[in-house]
Structure 1
């Protein structure tokens, strides 16, 4: 019998600073099992999670207002800037990844976080309008498919993975997203509609010849593990501190069904704390639920150890230390599970 595949580590997406070339080099050096394209929100709204996602919207113009990103009749200056920033980032990624063969992860704001964050032309969130929600989801799916096809042409030896960042997904399902006025909350979106949006994205990637693993990252509580698994996504990534026993039961079922699970075991909500992150402590946070569920080495190849969320709140040295800590923690988890 062959040895089980090791647990891998990776980052989530956001990174401190404004130097994309350096950030890509660090991501490839510190996450050799699964490097990723960092997101640098300190460069401005066009480079943040929502801004970058708007750059991928297909035939759906937006502009930036004081209240945030908004669907519009024509693309505003900031939207054009977001597209230019993304093109530049992809050019730099292509340059740094020449000769590399293996997996690379891309992070994109997910359709439901976009719907809960962006406004319609005549006010309030896209979330309030079923037709607008559908149009936004379809536009994003088409844009992601075109992005993957473009990257496959640029770097044919790379195995691409798409990570959808969905911090607002549980709030969308629970009716917890406030209206633009802040006085009320939007109605909960039905679970079949939410699931269908992910299923359509996976289907669009396949139909375009861009079939690629789709991961959903959610660092909030109440991650809908079963919904995502049944929608056809390849994996999901969660904050281990926010998951309750019901969530872990669903995680166990997902692992047994072959789903890739990212364990966000390094805290990111307080930025860099004094001293280097403790890899042993990170490993213990990842191992605790795995042991409680009775999971062994047979699932190790479907596990990732990650920071709970992005690292933009860290300084450069602290962010590098965080990636090194999760890499060392993944090695510890592999060894512990194999015993």
Structure 2
């Protein structure tokens, strides 16, 4: 890959009003194997102790309501959902599916409190994951079976409902881990298709109209403002690398972007470099977990450092990075997922050695 040497800073971005990160750290993306929240919490917090970033695991193997979409939908204020053969649907009143999702999340928070409370030295941070407003609208369905994305009013109501519902969630997590810095990851896996107008209708014969970039920015801004008002110290948007709208996300006020590195274009690297220079964070999906065997630490370090160096970024700015897997770990065994977290901390150590020269 050839990367240009010059890049433009993010327009309108301001330097954060907090001290810059001191070192490269590691975290996971949220999805985790198995059905036991206690085992998941112990492993994650054991592998990702300070200075790394432990996270509240999502356990989709538990079934309905433990998937990312159902988990986020259970937080909606004055809106409810149930499960139909085609997926989650907005309904007038909460039913068993909604209650199951809410109950699973409450269990996870209670387990987190128990595990954190038993630690000799608790981690200084905790990360939560939420489905972002664009992917939420693409994933939830109206009464007629069409996606909520079809209707502007439905999109607006969903965003407002999500913004209203996140405060209680963050308050419960904050009570479970008193004093921990709250970090939130907004997952937008469908963002490129939503903005390009390639999400299919229920019939499959047409596609839904593209959502305007200005509406997307406003939706993100509303949710991020609500998260910060509820105590989030850092909000990062996680996207796939293909046609990821980095500039739109950063202009909406995100503190950073989480993205897999493997297929990034030169232009995307330049955009990320501009973000780093503007004081934003990059969560680099530097550890490819698609292959059967984990990549070597040196190869992962080089996959970051080579384009970093080619862009003219100083080694000291590597501290703006968190390293992550390229994808969630729900499809792995618990032993494999644990090994991934261990390898991530090794990659972070390797990058810190580069930063120190």
How does the TM-score come out when normalised to structure 2?
0.89
Note the aligned Cα RMSD (angstroms): 1.7
Of 211, 236, 243, which aligns to 1:222?
Answer: 243
Structure 1 unaligned blocks of 5 or more: none
State the distance in 2 between where 1:139 and 1:105 align: 21
Task: Give per-residue Cα distances to partners, 1:136-189, cap 9 Å, x unaligned.
Answer: 111111211221122223332111111111111111111121112222211111
Aligned to 1:24: 41
Aligned to 1:169: 191
Does the CA-based 8 Å contact 2:187-2:237 persist in structure 1?
A: yes
Does the CA-based 8 Å contact 1:219-1:308 persist in structure 2?
A: no
- Does residue 1:283 correspond to 2:301, yes or no? yes
Question: Is 261-270 or 168-177 further displaced after alignment?
Answer: 261-270
Aligned to 1:303: 321
- Does residue 1:246 correspond to 2:267, yes or no? yes
Aligned to 2:289: 268
Task: Give per-residue Cα distances to partners, 1:82-140, cap 9 Å, x unaligned.
Answer: 00000111100111112625111011111111111111112211111111011111111
Aligned to 1:50: 69
For these two proteins, the number of residue pairs brought into alignment is 333
Does the CA-based 8 Å contact 1:277-1:322 persist in structure 2?
A: no
Describe how 1:9-20 pairs up with structure 2 within 5 A.
9-20=26-37
Does the CA-based 8 Å contact 1:223-1:243 persist in structure 2?
A: no
Q: Secondary structure at the match of 2:65?
A: helix
Does the CA-based 8 Å contact 2:109-2:172 persist in structure 1?
A: no
Does the CA-based 8 Å contact 1:296-1:338 persist in structure 2?
A: no
Task: Give per-residue Cα distances to partners, 1:232-262, cap 9 Å, x unaligned.
Answer: 1111100101321121111111111111110
Does the CA-based 8 Å contact 1:170-1:220 persist in structure 2?
A: no
State the distance in 1 between where 2:67 and 2:350 align: 33
Q: Secondary structure at the match of 1:149?
A: helix
State the distance in 2 between where 1:5 and 1:70 align: 44
Report the CA distance between 1:76 and its aligned residue.
2.5
Of 208, 211, 215, which aligns to 1:193?
Answer: 215
Q: Secondary structure at the match of 1:314?
A: coil
Q: Secondary structure at the match of 2:39?
A: helix
Aligned to 2:177: 155
State the distance in 2 between where 1:288 and 1:44 align: 41
State the distance in 1 between where 2:265 and 2:186 align: 22
State the distance in 1 between where 2:195 and 2:238 align: 16
Q: Secondary structure at the match of 1:131?
A: helix
Q: Secondary structure at the match of 2:155?
A: helix
How does the TM-score come out when normalised to structure 1?
0.94
Report the CA distance between 1:211 and its aligned residue.
4.3
- Does residue 1:235 correspond to 2:235, yes or no? no
State the distance in 2 between where 1:45 and 1:280 align: 40
State the distance in 1 between where 2:68 and 2:123 align: 27
Q: Secondary structure at the match of 1:170?
A: helix
Q: Secondary structure at the match of 1:97?
A: helix
Aligned to 2:102: 83
State the distance in 2 between where 1:248 and 1:144 align: 32
Q: 1:189 to 1:4 in 2, by over 3 A?
A: closer
Q: Secondary structure at the match of 2:233?
A: coil
Report the CA distance between 1:292 and its aligned residue.
2.3
Name the structure, 1 or 2, with higher relative contact order (CA <8 Å, separation 6+).
Answer: 2
